[in-house]
Amino acid sequence: MSVKILTDSASDLPLSFYEKNNVTLLPLKVHLDDTEYVDLLTIDSKTVYQAIREGKVPKTSQVSPQVFEETFTKMAKNDEDGIYIAFSSELSGTYQTAVMMLDQVKEAYPDFKLTIIDTKCASLGFGLIVKEAARLAKENTPKEDILKDIKFRCQHMEHLFTVHDLDYLAKGGRVSRASAFLGGLLNIKPLLNVEDGKLVPIEKHRGKKKLLRRIIEIMKERGESLDQQIIGISHADDEETALEMKELIAQEFHPKEFYISSIGSAIGSHTGSGTIAIFFLNKVQS
């Protein structure tokens, strides 16, 4: 029996991916206009970005304990073996809730074989890990080999991203409000990455073109064998810049493939529109 792959909607993979690859979706929630929506299922990212432009502030919440309990119990009853690849524990309580509910389900089904992985990754950096795990599972790869691949990618996945407006990160406590105000006045764009699962500002640049060129420089510094990789690009309602970034990367590194996705409602509620993110490995398995 093949290993079942589960993940949550913070991986920013489209709904069609789950359907085509037999991956179980565990959706986060988005709260907007006093209504609770289910990420990917009852709300889309364009709705969230339009609401933000209108001055609204959407909130998010983790995958509910009930969803975990129902999903895990069904798998346990069917004697399924699985891997839940989870959103960074530093950015959401989803991982911790999953662990808690697994412990609860195992009280009734002590032989249930489910492994939960804290990726310490976000958005499509997390999604690329899920994509490869789903491919391996389809090929009936042994569970221990899939886990080895997942853990390697979690340790070596680079996230480089910028936001259009620092105010959204300031609201989430990721940058100071003073920095956000100054950045807006001077057209200063922040460059951030993810370190041990947390969002960390690393540089600031004036103007988009300079920033995109700097991303290329950092990819040169950190990347390995980029011509052999699938490079991920996710964007928050800014496909034009995503394609511009793709062209710059293609000219410089000639990667094997690109995977471009829209940043989903859950992540987008915190970044706002105009976010561009690049994902690649800083080490390639031999």
The pLDDT assigned to 182 comes to 47
Q: Rounded to an integer, what distance in angstroms lies between the CA atom of residue 230 and that of residue 247?
A: 14
Query: C-alpha angle with apex 147: 146 to 148, nearest 5 degrees?
Result: 90
Per-residue 3-state assignment (H helix, E strand, C coil) for the chain: CCCEEEEEHHHCCCHHHHHHHCCEEECCEEEECCEEEEECCCECHHHHHHHHHCCCCCEEECCCHHHHHHHHHHHHHCCCEEEEEECCCCCCCHHHHHHHHHHHHHHHCCCCEEEEEECCCCHHHHHHHHHHHHHHHHCCCCHHHHHHHHHHHHHHEEEEEECCCHHHHHHCCCCCHHHHHHHHHHCEEEEEEEECCEEEEEEEEECHHHHHHHHHHHHHHHCCCHHHCEEEEEECCCHHHHHHHHHHHHHHHCCCEEEEEECCHHHHHHHCCCCEEEEEECCCCC
Tokens (6 digits) for 121: 């990754």
Q: CA 179 from chain center: how many Å?
A: 25
Give tens-digit pLDDT for 64-119. 999 999 999 999 999 999 999 999 999 999 999 999 999 999 999 999 999 999 99
| pTM exceeds cut of 0.75 | yes
**pLDDT the model gives residue 166:** 62
Question: Percentage of the chain with pLDDT > 70?
Answer: 91
For residue 183, is pLDDT > 70?
no
Judged against a pLDDT cut of 60, whether residue 178 lies above it is answered with: no
Length in residues, the chain:
286
Gap between the terminal Cα atoms of the chain: 28
Q: How much is the pLDDT for 181? A: 44
CA distance 170 to 220: 30
Residue 136, pLDDT > 50, answer yes
Contact 31, 251 (CB under 8 A): no
pLDDT surpasses 80 at 173: no
Strands 188-195 and 230-235: unpaired
165 falls in which pLDDT band (50, 70, 90)?
low
* Cα–Cα dist 80/51, whole Å: 41
Tokens 């951030």 sit on residue: 192
Quick one: pLDDT band at residue 163, thresholds 50, 70, 90? confident
